[in-house]
Amino acid sequence: MSERQKKIRNFCIIAHIDHGKSTLADRLIEKTQTVSSRELQDQLLDSMDLERERGITIKLTPVRMYYEYNGEEYELNLIDTPGHVDFTFEVSRSLRACEGAVLVVDAAQGVEAQTLANVYLAIDNNLEILPVINKIDLPSARPEEVRREIEDVVGIDASDSPLVSAKEGLNIEEILKQIVEKVPAPNGDENAPLKCLIFDSYYDNYKGAVCLVRVIDGEVKAGTKIKMMASGKTYDCVEVGIFNPKPTPVMSLKAGNVGYIAASIKAIAETAPGDTVTDANNPTATACDGYKEVQPVVYSGVFPVDGSKYNDLKDALERLKLSDAALFYEPEVSAALGFGFRCGFLGLLHMEIIQERLEREYNLDLITTAPSVTYKVHKTNGEIVTVTNPCNLPPTTETLYIEEPVVAAEIFTPPTYIGSIMELCQDKRGVFEDMQYLDSNRVKMKYQMPLSEIVFDFFDGLKSRSRGYASLDYELSGYSKSDMVKLDILLNGEICDALSLIIHREKAQSRGRTLAEKLKEVIPRQLFEIPIQAAIGGKVIARETVKAMRKDVLAKCYGGDVTRKKKLLEKQKEGKKRMRQFGSVEIPSEAFMSILKLDDN
């Protein structure tokens, strides 16, 4: 290891969503004077508006800081990690670029479920974990208890964990010291052939797709002919640089460094995270391991409310895809909703974020259909097909059985709510596995649960049953054979494809009834009577009717005020723009959304 490498520390911060990670990162940056405090905008690293607003980090941003320790200057690279379970894969990538992790635990709330998953991930990646107890300025802080909790629950030594307050700037120096003392310097050979791990990438309007990399071996600089090992594509490196925290070009990046490579790469898809960058003329023998393609977990149809905005939606998705390689989409045509896209997401939060970005950043009004998971359908002819859209479910006559994805769910709650949460989990077809008291006021419940049930209204149920106290963490644990059926909604005798669902047989009956009732509420009365039917495999299980309207018995035409009448007509006409014509039935776009949240009771 070179002398240069000995003075590098690469670390990340792991924290529960509101335990103060971003604030702590800001303090570290401030303390090392990477930016002056005048420049310091709160939560510097969260550069997306949405992130700042919701207090969550989605994209990873590495920052290089300099810190003087025992008279020597150290280069500290902070690699940010997203805090949410949907982004576990992104977390694991960034963990592989580090040698250490600062674990931030809230001195009042203690260790949280979401954190644990990431801590274990860090331990699996052989990272040195430095627990830090934050928010000790809070009156409810109980640092000693939390210290014990870290040792019991996480199983790591927390005896000399710094007690800090990121908000007040208390004890921040101690963290920096421990990073230098405890986190190992990066090994790797700067004279070996180039080998860099791409842990993230982003799109820059001028530079194209930019790779965020950790250099494992060798050196890269402007002019190096680089090659992506997974795709085999080569590019001429135009610029390398670091973040301090703004992107700043440097002469070169060497083994142990963290920074960016810009090489006029057209699309983010060509800079797949997890891929290895090497020197095309002097390639490394083996790529970094662990590269895998991201698989969407949840799918949903996304359609513009105004059908003429299809191309706008397409452009928006194309542009989002440039910066979010995890987003998957393909064109979809629905009889009810017209032209749109089937989109795949990493999870519910990811889905919500994409939808929100489409609406906010691209000013689109969207209709999204009920989220669906990926089913494996075993057909009688031996074929196994993957179904992510209810409309593509093979007919029952050709189906042997269906498998649905199951997750291992961990629910953390105060003991008071155990009963009602168990009820909810049972209702959601959960199979109880284990329950463990973490301390006198926190319980961890483990369930095996179908993902489709979590996707449908589970969070809301959990939150309302626990007054917001319970939290959920889950990861896919496999597939299990399940009696799934397709539930169709017929409007005026025709199946409305955008309203079809794949659902467990036991639930189909009641869901069908609720759906029909709800639709009766949200579909306005029209010229003709509209029968609404719910059907399983062609058998009608529920029926409601929207009566024909009779409403235009008009009030007086005051003193020849024709304008008023015209305005009324125009308003009515305008209202039709938000309606979808399905056969002779007009469906308000809200109707498609309102059925996404239904209480089965």
Partner 1 sequence: MKRKLGVYIHIPFCNGKCAYCDFTSGVYSDEIKQAYFKSLISEIMNFDFSEYVVDTVYFGGGTPSSVSASYITEIFYALKAQVELDINCEFSIECNPESVTEEKLYTYKKIGINRISLGLQTTNNEILKSIGRLHDLKDFISAIDLTNKYFDNVSADLMLGLPLQNASDVTNAIKLLAEKSVKHVSAYGLKVEEGTSLAKSGFTPDEDFTSYLYDLTVNELAKLGYTRYEVSNFAMPGYECKHNKRYWNRSEYVGFGVSAHSFVKYARIENTSDLSEYIKGKTVAQKYFILSNSPEAKVEMIMLALRTSDGLDLTEFYENFGIDLIKDKSSTISALSDFLIVDNTKLKLSNKGYYVMNEIILRLID
CB of 574 to partner 1, least distance (A): 11
Q: How far apart are CA 236 and CA 232, in angstroms?
A: 13
Q: Which stretch binds partner 1 (CB under 8 A): 3-11, 82-90, 319-327, 550-558?
A: 550-558
Contact residues for 467 (Cβ-Cβ < 8 A; gap 6+): 417
577 touches partner 1 (CB under 8 A): no
Instruction: List the one residue from 251, 527, 567, 597 that touches partner 1 (CB under 8 A).
Output: 527
Instruction: List the one residue from 251, 431, 557, 596 that touches partner 1 (CB under 8 A).
Output: 557
Nearer to partner 1, 39 or 521 (CB): 521
Nearer to partner 1, 66 or 528 (CB): 528
Interface characters, 186-225, with partner 1 (x: CB under 8 A): ----------------------------------------
251 touches partner 1 (CB under 8 A): no
CB of 586 to partner 1, least distance (A): 10
CB of 518 to partner 1, least distance (A): 20
397 φ, ψ to 5°? -65, -25
> How many CB atoms within 10 Å of residue 432?
13
Nearer to partner 1, 468 or 560 (CB): 560
Radius of gyration of the chain (CA): 27
**Nearest Cα to 159, choosing from 144, 173, 142, 174?**
144
574 touches partner 1 (CB under 8 A): no
In the numeric block, which tokens belong to residue 453? 């049930």
Instruction: List the one residue from 70, 308, 562, 601 that touches partner 1 (CB under 8 A).
Output: 562
Contact residues for 533 (Cβ-Cβ < 8 A; gap 6+): 489, 490, 493, 516, 540, 542, 543
Q: Which stretch binds partner 1 (CB under 8 A): 290-298, 464-472, 477-485, 543-551?
A: 543-551
569 touches partner 1 (CB under 8 A): yes
Distances (CA, A) of 262 to 268, 275, 347, 409, 457: 12, 15, 30, 40, 42
Q: How far apart are CA 467 and CA 486, in angstroms?
A: 34
552 touches partner 1 (CB under 8 A): yes
529 touches partner 1 (CB under 8 A): no
CB of 585 to partner 1, least distance (A): 13
Instruction: List the one residue from 285, 539, 556, 601 that touches partner 1 (CB under 8 A).
Output: 556
Instruction: List the one residue from 225, 266, 467, 525 that touches partner 1 (CB under 8 A).
Output: 525
Give the distance, in angstroms, between the CA of residue 472 and the centroid of all CA atoms in the same chain.
Answer: 14
Instruction: List the one residue from 247, 526, 543, 594 that touches partner 1 (CB under 8 A).
Output: 526
Distances (CA, A) of 17 to 106, 115, 163, 350: 10, 8, 19, 15
Contact 113, 473 (CB under 8 A): yes
Q: How far apart are CA 176 and CA 184, in angstroms?
A: 13
Q: Which residues bind to partner 1, rule: CB under 8 A? A: 525-527, 547-563, 565-566, 568-569, 572-573, 576
